[in-house]
Structure 1
Amino acid sequence: MTKRQWLAKGLTLLMVAVLLLVTACSGGNQEAGTKAEGQNGEAGEKSGDSGSKAVKLSIMWWGPDARHEATMKVLDMYSKQHPGVTFTPEYLAWDGYWSKLPTLAASKSITDVLQMDAAYIKEYVGNGTLEDLSDIDLSGIVDPNVIENLKIDGKLYGIPLSQNAGGIAYNKEELEKHGIPLPHQNWTWDEYFDWAREARKKLPEGKYPIGDVTTWDGYQYYQAAYGKGDIMADGGKTFSLDKELFLKFFNTYAEFRKEKIVPPAEQAAAFQENDPQADPMASGVLMTTGKTTGSVSVMETLMPGKVDVVNSPTGPDGGGWAQSTIFLSVSSNSKHKQEAKDFVRWFITDKEAGQVLRLTRGIPINPDIYAELEASLEPKDKLGKKLYDVSVEKALPFFSSAAGYTEWVDAFEAEMENVVYGKQSVEQAYEKINQLGQDLAAKAASK
């Protein structure tokens, strides 16, 4: 072997040795890094995506078993589509969820992604728990009017999951039998009250066109329809109960009790929603009843083929509501906000996920996913979708009670029950309810 050959062979061996050394060092560092990051408990493991770290998102939700099972399958689906993203899930029943969430929020240890409800979202926005999600593009997925109604102080804190609405179900068969005109879309409050008066004249004894109203939210949409807005605004710091509208609304119902346009208080107290014998409409006592997209499906089950729907009465500013009341939100303390945002958008846009989730959180907010499911849906589910469709045009925002107003909500109903049973006048009830609201607003404003 020549000297040149010896040199070439030596150089080759040296290069091989260097490569082996580099490979060994690289492998050792990578293994140590993975182990250390895994021990951190945060999302730090090596990702399947080149140059990125793995992310472990914590997520919690409430619901029945069917929702749990579907959601777990979808989380696994997301991880397969997005290597490096895994989940730490937690799911509870409704009561357990809302018992645990305040503690997590107070300790700033709330999950990266969490299911949120319209009844509580303002409270959690107010205490700084939720991240602004306004930068998530929902064009073509969610109706722009719905998005605007969902905003709190101009920002979006929850990605809507379902099409929900509050409207009126009516007994189409019974109304036609007695020659009563069917309710029409976008009827006004005056038309609604006049319709009830005329229907009473054609109905036999023991049947009533509409039910009584004694709750604050039953009145809230009347006040908002006439441009007087939210009773409890600014996180409860502003309270506005319009006296003129309040007296007009509840004095109308006082008239209806006298004229037997609504059922007697004792009979109404015995009603049991969704019970075949005791439900006010299924039992044949009421011709109409307030329902949501979810609850109206039960009426179709109890009264197959007899039920139709219309939106809530309207005023100059609109009427009723039509939007999701269940959302996915992101914690303001999450260390993986962008990954969480990517996930919640995917949750309502991926068609394969939609096929798995189906109606476990209501009618899908994404119309494309609903279109793929529609052919396989039962009539009761399609009736819920119809309620949303007839309500969305004139819909107002969904109004929830402000934090700290539980006492006021209970007092409202108690005072109005005293009116119903003739223990006080509508004006006396207003004075008490209004004073308590003003006191609570002043207390909230002083904090």
Structure 2
Amino acid sequence: MGKATAMRKAVTWLAAAVLLLAACSAGEGDRDRSSEMRQPATGLPEADMNRQVELGFIWWGPEERHKATLAALEVYTAQHPNVTFKPEYMAWEAYWKKLPSLAASKTVPDVLQMDAAYIQDYVSRGIMADLSDIDLTGIVPDQILENVKINGKLYGVPLSYNAQGIAYNRAELEAAGIPLPWKGWTWEEFFDWARDAKTKLPPDRYPIGDSTSAWDWFQWYQASYGGGAIMSPDGREFHLDRELFFEYHTILADLRRSNVVPPADVSLTFLENDPLADQMTSGKVLTRGATVGSIETLEQLMPGKVDVVNVPVGPAGGGWAQPTIFLGVYADSDELAHAKRFVKWFITDREAGRTLGLTRGIPIYEEIYKELEPNLEPKDRLGKVLADVAADYAMPFYAAGAGFTEWVDAYKLTMEAVMFGQKSLEDAYAELNALGESIAKQNRNR
């Protein structure tokens, strides 16, 4: 199936998407007229307004996020003296080990942090409350709200922006006399740019990395030419476009033979964000993929040298730009109205916004970002630049479908074998396609 055919046959699956980061607000704490007008409607009967309430709130993150969130909870209690909290917080892995047991025992806290990769599953299990009655007009952009809905309903309030782009070493490109990447470049232009750039670099330095074993990079390519996501969020549908697969990987193989991308043994030694082993910080490669959440670390390791551009585009767009982190409410909470009121406060209250800062990324509410912006460091501003440059071409965020962990792992190992010449592209496609179809069939039969 060619690109045009793929466009006609494309299946658009709702991505389990939402953007990983931020929080903030417009607020009661300031008591100015404009902030009061932005406060959420309580949705509470008069008699319930001052009743003593304890809300459970569970989240994951680093220590900086924990401290900021606990401080924000104190702000809320100061503004609403009848409401206190029972906080639970932990690291990422521990969180996703604990949440399933809480769901099974029906002891999920009233408010829970949720990620794009898991929301579909928890919605299907009846864990997440419908938040469609929370008025987010003028707070969360309309298109973002539509993108994160599941079956037309809102189950999580986005906290922050996230997007996929490409970081590049502006200083080194300029020094080598290589034209800088430009917004809106196509896949063809991206590969041509890399070929030309290589002519201006020494043998052991490369304009782009080798994405052969990265399934998500091929998925962006397939989706950008109308082939849709490789698998649906529920894992019941699978489509690995044969023609686009061979086209993409044949191009990369040619680039590898021409020394435009690093040799296989060099590529597989890279460790993202390691000062010595990261492909960019090591000086080996002048570009690499980056998200709003990861660009901060890269800028810290290479201060003043990093700039960003969108992922190459095809007829259907390129890359993604969506929230991937948000707050939800437990469907069986005894305090639904209070929990919803708190969730809206979390992203709109000005004092909360100042307290939370960028601990969950770039705030989804523009008014909060504007308030924080004057005091942001270059590394923080760069994340907003990435989000903005990616937005115009962005496709939905396509996470791995339910039950497809085995396939994702198999893709990496199989394509690494291709990189080393241990497996043909034909055999690789046959194995990956058969495994994907088998997993999808199993999911449909459950």
Bin the TM-score by the shorter chain. Answer: 0.7 to 0.9
- 2:182 partner amino acid: H
Matches within 5 A, 1:190-201: 190-201=188-199
- 1:95 partner amino acid: E
Counterpart pick for 2:155 among 151, 157, 166: 157
Matches within 5 A, 1:228-247: 228-233=227-232, 235-247=234-246
| Deviation, structure 1 residue 127 | 2.2
Counterpart of 1:254 in structure 2 is 253
Q: Is the 8 A contact 1:149 1:396 kept in 2?
A: no
| Deviation, structure 1 residue 306 | 1.2
Provide the rounded CA distance (Å) in 2 between the counterparts of 1:329 and 1:407.
29
Q: Is the 8 A contact 2:159 2:364 kept in 1?
A: yes
Counterpart of 1:358 in structure 2 is 357
Q: Is the 8 A contact 1:150 1:397 kept in 2?
A: no
Counterpart pick for 1:86 among 67, 84, 87: 84
Provide the rounded CA distance (Å) in 1 between the counterparts of 2:46 and 2:54.
14
Counterpart pick for 1:171 among 160, 169, 172: 169
Q: 1:379 to 1:392 in 2, by over 3 A?
A: same
| Deviation, structure 1 residue 353 | 0.3
| Deviation, structure 1 residue 48 | 12
Structure of higher CA gyration radius: 1
SS in 2 for 1:310: strand
| Deviation, structure 1 residue 49 | 6.2
Q: Deviations over 1:314-364 (max 9, x none)?
A: 111111111221111111222222221221111001111000000111111
Q: Relative to structure 2, which stretch is displaced further, 412-421 or 103-112?
A: 103-112
Counterpart of 1:292 in structure 2 is 291
- 2:316 partner amino acid: D
Q: 1:234 to 1:98 in 2, by over 3 A?
A: closer
Q: 1:336 to 1:176 in 2, by over 3 A?
A: same
Give TM-score, length-normalised by structure 2: 0.86
How many residues end up aligned between the 2 structures?
Answer: 401
Q: Deviations over 1:2-46 (max 9, x none)?
A: xxxxxxxxxxxxxxxxxxxxxxxxxxxxxxxxxxxxxxxxxxxxx
Q: Is the 8 A contact 1:48 1:84 kept in 2?
A: no
Q: Relative to structure 2, which stretch is displaced further, 370-379 or 294-303?
A: 294-303
Provide the rounded CA distance (Å) in 1 between the counterparts of 2:309 and 2:115.
25
Counterpart of 2:25 in structure 1 is none
Counterpart of 1:322 in structure 2 is 321
Where structure 2 has 5 or more consecutive residues not aligned to the other structure, the ranges are 1-43
Provide the rounded CA distance (Å) in 2 between the counterparts of 1:176 and 1:168.
17
Q: Is the 8 A contact 2:233 2:402 kept in 1?
A: no
Q: Relative to structure 2, which stretch is displaced further, 235-244 or 51-60?
A: 51-60
Counterpart of 1:377 in structure 2 is 376
Where structure 1 has 5 or more consecutive residues not aligned to the other structure, the ranges are 1-46
| Deviation, structure 1 residue 311 | 1.0
Q: Is the 8 A contact 1:48 1:54 kept in 2?
A: no
SS in 1 for 2:293: coil
Provide the rounded CA distance (Å) in 2 between the counterparts of 1:51 and 1:247.
62
SS in 2 for 1:394: coil
Provide the rounded CA distance (Å) in 2 between the counterparts of 1:148 and 1:319.
19
SS in 1 for 2:114: strand
Counterpart of 2:420 in structure 1 is 421
Greater relative contact order (CA < 8 Å, ≥ 6 in sequence): 2
Matches within 5 A, 1:216-227: 216-227=215-226
Counterpart of 2:385 in structure 1 is 386
Q: 1:51 to 1:145 in 2, by over 3 A?
A: closer
Q: Is the 8 A contact 1:122 1:235 kept in 2?
A: yes
Identity of aligned residues (%): 56
Give TM-score, length-normalised by structure 1: 0.86
Q: Is the 8 A contact 1:48 1:83 kept in 2?
A: no
Q: Relative to structure 2, which stretch is displaced further, 228-237 or 360-369?
A: 228-237
Provide the rounded CA distance (Å) in 1 between the counterparts of 2:277 and 2:233.
40
SS in 2 for 1:202: coil
SS in 2 for 1:322: coil
Q: 1:245 to 1:279 in 2, by over 3 A?
A: same
Q: Is the 8 A contact 2:233 2:399 kept in 1?
A: no
Provide the rounded CA distance (Å) in 1 between the counterparts of 2:196 and 2:183.
18
Counterpart of 1:114 in structure 2 is 112
Give the structure with the larger helix fraction.
Answer: 1
RMSD of aligned Cα (Å): 1.7
Matches within 5 A, 1:17-166: 50=47, 52=49, 53-166=51-164
SS in 2 for 1:73: helix
SS in 1 for 2:191: helix
- 2:79 partner amino acid: Q
| Deviation, structure 1 residue 376 | 0.8
